[in-house]
Amino acid sequence: MAGDITHHAALTLTDHLPILQVLVPFVAAPLIVFLGNRGLAWALSFIASAAAFVIAGLLLGHVIDGSVISYEIGGWAPPLGIEYRIDAANAFVLLLVSAISTLVLPYARTSIEAEVPRRHHTLFYASYMLCMTGLLGVTATGDAFNVFVFLEISSLSTYVLIAQGAHRDKRALTAAYDYLIMGTIGATFFVIGLGMLYMATGTLNMADLAERIATQGANRTVLAGFGFIIVGMGLKAALYPLHLWLPNAYTFAPSVVTVFLAATATKVAIYVLLRFMFSVFQPSFIYESSTIEFIILPLAILAMFAASVIAVFQRDMKRLLAYSSIAQIGYMLLGIGMLTETGLTAAIAHLFNHGITKAALFMGVGALVLKSGGSFFDRIQGLGRVMPFTAAAIVIGGLSLIGVPGTAGFISKWYLVQGALEKGWWPVAMLVVLSSLLAVIYVWQIVEALYLKAPAKDITAGEAPPAMLVPLWIMAAACIYFGLATDITVGAAQTAAAGLLAGSAGLGH
Amino acid sequence: METNTALLLALVLPALGTLGNIFLRDKANLRDSVTLGAAVATFLCVLTILGNVGNGTTAPLTLFEILPGLDLAFNVEPLGLLFALIASGLWIVTHVYAIGYMRGNKESHHPRFFACFSLAISAVMGIAFAANMLTLFLFYEILTLSTYPLVAHKGTAEAIRGARVYLGILIGTSIALLLVAVIWTYALAGTLTFAKGGILDGKVAGPLVAVLLGLYAFGIGKAALMPFHRWLPAAMVAPTPVSALLHAVAVVKAGVFTMLKVGVYIFGIDFLAATGASQWLIWLAGFSIVAASVVAMTKDNLKARLAYSTVSQLSYITLGMALATSMGALGGGMHIAMHAMGKITLFMCAGSIYVATHKTDISQMQGLGRVMPFTFAAFLIGALSIIGLPPLGGSWSKWLLIMGAADTGQWIMIAVLMVSSLLNVAYLLPLVGRGFFLKGQGIKADAKIAEASPLVWLPPVLTAFGCVVLFFYAGDIQTFLSPIVAAE
Query: Tell me: the pLDDT tens digits for B339-352?
Result: 888 888 988 888 88
Answer yes or no: are the C-beta atoms of A339 and A283 closer than 8 Å.
Answer: yes
Does the pLDDT of residue B183 top 50, yes or no?
A: yes
Answer yes or no: are the C-beta atoms of A359 and A408 closer than 8 Å.
Answer: no
- Over the stretch A310-365, which tens digit does the pLDDT of each residue have? 999 988 999 999 999 999 999 999 998 888 889 889 999 999 999 999 999 999 99
**Contact flag A490-B68 (C-beta cutoff 8 Å):** yes
**Contact flag B183-A414 (C-beta cutoff 8 Å):** yes
Omega prior to A117 cis, within 30 of 0: no
Does the pLDDT of residue B254 top 80, yes or no?
A: yes
Q: Which helix (H) or strand (E) holds A8?
A: strand A6-8
Average pLDDT over every residue of B165-184: 90
- DSSP state, A263? I
**Contact flag A413-B176 (C-beta cutoff 8 Å):** no
In this prediction, residue B445 carries a pLDDT of 62
Answer yes or no: are the C-beta atoms of B97 and B351 closer than 8 Å.
Answer: yes
In this prediction, residue A31 carries a pLDDT of 92
Does the pLDDT of residue A209 top 50, yes or no?
A: yes
**Contact flag B176-A437 (C-beta cutoff 8 Å):** yes
Phi, psi angles (nearest 5°) of residue B64: -160, 170
Residues in B closer than 8 angstroms to A403, CB to CB, are: 175
- DSSP state, A315? S
- Residue B160 contacts A, CB cutoff 8 Å: yes
Largest CA distance in chain B: 71
Give CA angle at A354 (A348, A360), nearest 5°.
150
- Residue B45 contacts A, CB cutoff 8 Å: no
Confidence of residue A505 (pLDDT cuts 50, 70, 90): very low
- Residue B469 contacts A, CB cutoff 8 Å: no
In this prediction, residue A288 carries a pLDDT of 59
- DSSP state, A376? B
Amino acid found at B119: L
Answer yes or no: are the C-beta atoms of A128 and A82 closer than 8 Å.
Answer: no
In this prediction, residue B436 carries a pLDDT of 80
Closest Cα of chain A to B44: distance in Å? Answer: 28
> What span, in angstroms and rounded, lies between the C-alpha atoms of B145 and B164?
12
| Number of residues in chain A | 509
- Over the stretch B159-168, which tens digit does the pLDDT of each residue have? 888 888 998 8
Answer yes or no: are the C-beta atoms of B80 and B137 closer than 8 Å.
Answer: no
Helix runs in A217-296, H state only: 220-236, 245-252, 255-260, 266-274, 286-291
- Over the stretch A264-311, which tens digit does the pLDDT of each residue have? 999 999 999 988 888 888 766 655 567 777 888 889 999 999 999 999
**Contact flag A486-B67 (C-beta cutoff 8 Å):** yes
**Residue of A304, A415, A452, A482 to mutate, interface with B, max B Cβ within 10 Å:** A452
Chain A positions contacting chain B at CB under 8 Å are: 399, 402-406, 411, 413-414, 417-418, 421-422, 429-430, 433-434, 436-437, 440, 444, 448, 451-452, 483-487, 490
pTM of the predicted structure, to 2 decimals: 0.89
**Contact flag A418-B160 (C-beta cutoff 8 Å):** no
- Residue B155 contacts A, CB cutoff 8 Å: yes
Confidence of residue B443 (pLDDT cuts 50, 70, 90): low
**Contact flag A403-B184 (C-beta cutoff 8 Å):** no
Give the residue on B whose Cα is nearest the Cα of A405. Answer: B138
3-state secondary structure of B107: coil
- Over the stretch A374-409, which tens digit does the pLDDT of each residue have? 888 888 888 888 888 899 999 999 999 998 888 999
In this prediction, residue B477 carries a pLDDT of 84
Nearest partner of B371 among B458, B435, B299, B291, judged by Cα: B435
**Contact flag B187-A411 (C-beta cutoff 8 Å):** no
**Contact flag B183-A418 (C-beta cutoff 8 Å):** yes
Residues in A closer than 8 angstroms to B72, CB to CB, are: 484
**Contact flag B176-A434 (C-beta cutoff 8 Å):** yes
Distance, first Cα to last Cα, chain B? 30
Closest Cα of chain B to A406: distance in Å? Answer: 6
Closest Cα of chain A to B399: distance in Å? Answer: 39
Nearest partner of A206 among A6, A504, A1, judged by Cα: A504
Does the pLDDT of residue A5 top 80, yes or no?
A: no
Strand A69-72 relative to strand A83-86, pairing: antiparallel
The burial of B482, by beta-carbon neighbours within 10 Å (0-12 exposed, 13-18 middle, 19 or more buried), is given as: middle
Confidence of residue A481 (pLDDT cuts 50, 70, 90): very high
Amino acid found at B168: G
> What span, in angstroms and rounded, lies between the C-alpha atoms of B383 and B407?
28
Does the pLDDT of residue B84 top 70, yes or no?
A: yes
Phi, psi angles (nearest 5°) of residue A377: -55, -35
**Contact flag A440-B172 (C-beta cutoff 8 Å):** yes
Give the residue on B whose Cα is nearest the Cα of A490. Answer: B67
- Residue B450 contacts A, CB cutoff 8 Å: no
**Contact flag A406-B138 (C-beta cutoff 8 Å):** yes
| Residue of higher predicted confidence among B435 and A417 | A417
- Residue B208 contacts A, CB cutoff 8 Å: no
In this prediction, residue A16 carries a pLDDT of 83
**Contact flag A434-B141 (C-beta cutoff 8 Å):** no
Amino acid found at A443: V
Helix runs in A141-170, H state only: 144-163
**Contact flag A411-B67 (C-beta cutoff 8 Å):** yes
Residues in B closer than 8 angstroms to A397, CB to CB, are: none
- Residue B188 contacts A, CB cutoff 8 Å: no
Closest residue to A430, CB basis, from B66, B172, B180: B180
The burial of B301, by beta-carbon neighbours within 10 Å (0-12 exposed, 13-18 middle, 19 or more buried), is given as: middle
**Contact flag A490-B179 (C-beta cutoff 8 Å):** no
**Contact flag B175-A436 (C-beta cutoff 8 Å):** yes
385-414 in B: which are within 8 Å (CB) of A? none
In this prediction, residue A506 carries a pLDDT of 46
Where is average pLDDT lowest: A426-430, A465-469, A505-509?
A: A505-509
- Over the stretch B48-78, which tens digit does the pLDDT of each residue have? 888 888 878 888 888 888 887 788 889 888 8
Closest Cα of chain B to A291: distance in Å? Answer: 28
**Contact flag B187-A421 (C-beta cutoff 8 Å):** yes
Residues in A closer than 8 angstroms to B160, CB to CB, are: 448, 452
Does the pLDDT of residue B328 top 80, yes or no?
A: yes
3-state secondary structure of B321: helix
Give the residue on B whose Cα is nearest the Cα of A442. Answer: B168
Residue contacts between A and B (CB atoms, under 8 Å)? 71
**Residue of B67, B174, B192, B204 to mutate, interface with A, max A Cβ within 10 Å:** B67
**Residue of A433, A437, A489, A495 to mutate, interface with B, max B Cβ within 10 Å:** A433
Instruction: Compute CA distances B370 → A280, B425, B430, B465, whole Å.
Output: 86, 21, 15, 20
Residues in B closer than 8 angstroms to A421, CB to CB, are: 183-184, 187
Give CA angle at B73 (A346, B340), nearest 5°.
110
**Contact flag B172-A448 (C-beta cutoff 8 Å):** no
Residues in B closer than 8 angstroms to A413, CB to CB, are: 179
Q: Which helix (H) or strand (E) holds B11?
A: helix B3-23
- Over the stretch B345-404, which tens digit does the pLDDT of each residue have? 988 888 888 888 888 888 888 878 788 888 888 988 989 898 888 888 888 888 888 888
**Contact flag B183-A417 (C-beta cutoff 8 Å):** yes
In this prediction, residue A1 carries a pLDDT of 40
Largest CA distance in chain A: 70
- Over the stretch A19-53, which tens digit does the pLDDT of each residue have? 888 889 999 999 999 988 888 899 999 999 999 99
Does the pLDDT of residue A6 top 70, yes or no?
A: no
**Contact flag A484-B72 (C-beta cutoff 8 Å):** yes
- Over the stretch B265-321, which tens digit does the pLDDT of each residue have? 898 888 888 888 888 888 899 999 999 999 988 888 888 888 899 999 999 889 888
Residues in B closer than 8 angstroms to A402, CB to CB, are: 171, 175
**Contact flag B183-A421 (C-beta cutoff 8 Å):** yes
- Concatenated DSSP letters of A340-372: SHHHHHHHHHHHHHHHHHHHHHHHHHHHHHHHH
Closest residue to B67, CB basis, from A414, A436, A451: A414
Give the residue on B whose Cα is nearest the Cα of A416. Answer: B183
Nearest partner of B22 among B37, B8, B36, B35, judged by Cα: B35
Give the residue on B whose Cα is nearest the Cα of A483. Answer: B66
Residues in A closer than 8 angstroms to B177, CB to CB, are: 433
Helix runs in A164-244, H state only: 171-201, 206-216, 220-236
In this prediction, residue B112 carries a pLDDT of 83
